[in-house]
Structures are given as C-alpha cells and as structure tokens.
Chain A
Amino acid sequence: GDSVTQMEGPVTLSEEAFLTINCTYTATGYPSLFWYVQYPGEGLQLLLKATKADDKGSNKGFEATYRKETTSFHLEKGSVQVSDSAVYFCALSPSGDSWGKLQFGAGTQVVVTP
C-alpha cells in the first residue's frame, strides 16, 4: 500500500541555519504530495503542495520539489527562525477515488534555538 517515510526528529537548529527534512514515498500512480505543519495544541496547517512530477511547492520560505525518479519530496528552508519550531508532516494523496485518504509520515519535530 501507499506509505510515507520521513526522517526522525527532533531536529535542533540555531536561528538562521539551513533546514532539510527528508521525505520519501511509495505509491502507485501519480499521488499529490504535501507538507503540513503542526504547532503545539493546534491542528495541521497546509504548508505547501505539489501535484505532479517536477512541481516545486513553496510558501513562507519553505520549498519542496516533487521528484518522481527518487520518489522524494524533501522540505528545505534557507534560514530558519524560532517561530518555525513545530512538527512537520509529509503526506500523500493517492490518485483516483482514494484521493481523500491522506497518508502521513510520522512527523519530524523541529526545534530552533535563538
């Protein structure tokens, strides 16, 4: 079945450091890919998305490129801030009628220190 694997955390960084969170997936067909962010005590917020191969999603300085050849969707940010401390989830939405069944990775906690 479909699955998402992302790097374990916590990832601890200093402010202004470069952030990368690796995400790989297994799926049939052509899924859509997403990154969500969750702050303490809150639901999930959509950070960025990509719906086909080679698409680059970007938002708030974060970027991720849909790489079908390596089945990856790594999240990057060039200069993190303390406010980026949160848990980040990589997710896929299968193609076809199963698109409503999001499959999530385990989540990666990111801690940014001043």
Chain B
Amino acid sequence: KAGVTQTPRYLIKTRGQQVTLSCSPISGHRSVSWYQQTPGQGLQFLFEYFSETQRNKGNFPGRFSGRQFSNSRSEMNVSTLELGDSALYLCASSLSSEWGYTFGSGTRLTVV
C-alpha cells in the first residue's frame, strides 16, 4: 500500500517569504502529525490533527500553522520565514497509538 507522501522534497525560500508543505497520509489514517528535525534541536513536535481538528500543539510560534482536510491530507504553513526555520519537516500518519506512526521522507526546507 502507498506510504505517507510529502511534497515537495526540497524547497529553497528567501527570508520573509512564506511556504506551504503538503502531506498525504496512508489511506484510512485519521491522525496526521508534523515534526521539525534540525541537527541542534533534534526532532520537535509541531502539531497533530485528527479528523480535521488540531488535537495537540507543540511549542512553536504562531508563524507555524497547519490544517487537515476531509480526506485527511494535511498542509503546514510557515509565514515570515527565518533562517532558523531551515530544517527537515516530517509528516507522519497513524491509525492508533498501538500501531505507531508511519513517516514520510520529509521536505527539506532551506531559508536563505
């Protein structure tokens, strides 16, 4: 079966711009979560959506936002990009806590 698909794989943006990343979860998975991975901070939780509702949120500024559509696809948006937003952004989907999360290959965002 198809895995978690993230688009685009790579992105280069200029400081001050905004960006939208997309995630298509495994069919039937209603929970989608997002993580930021950097060498200095490791893997940090951004937010989780379940049935179109944001259920959990991490400690990131309001510039980071997301949403989930009725087909469970999710997007995350970062406005007013800063150099420190350069990271690998990972999306993951799950059926339930017992099954764990399946991760996509990530979107590598570089802010210049």
Contacts and interface: CB of A to CB of B under 8 A. Distances in A.
Q: Do A and B bind each other?
A: yes
Interface residues of A, number: 24
B97 A89 contact: no
Q: Chain A interface mostly helix, strand, loop or mixed?
A: mixed
Interface string B62-77: 0000000000000000
B56 A98 contact: yes
Contacts of A43: 4, 6, 90, 103-106
Contacts of A101: 33, 45, 48, 56, 58
Given A89-B43, A104-B42, A44 B98 contact: no
A13 interface: no
A93 interface: yes
A101 B45 CA distance: 7
Contact of B103 (A45, A99, A100, A103): A45
B31 interface: yes
Interface residues on B, range: 20 to 34
Nearest to B4: A43
B27 interface: no
Contacts of B43: 89, 104, 107
Contact of A102 (B98, B101, B106): B101
Contacts of B102: 46
Which of B97, B101, B102 has most A Cβ within 10 Å?
B97
Scoring A45, A101, A103, A106 by chain B CB atoms within 10 A of each residue's CB, the highest score goes to A101
Nearest to B102: A46
B16 to A, nearest CB: 28
Interface of B: 4, 6, 31, 33, 35, 42-43, 45, 48, 50, 55-56, 58, 90, 92, 94, 96-106
Interface of A: 32, 34, 36, 42-46, 49, 51, 89, 93, 95, 97-107
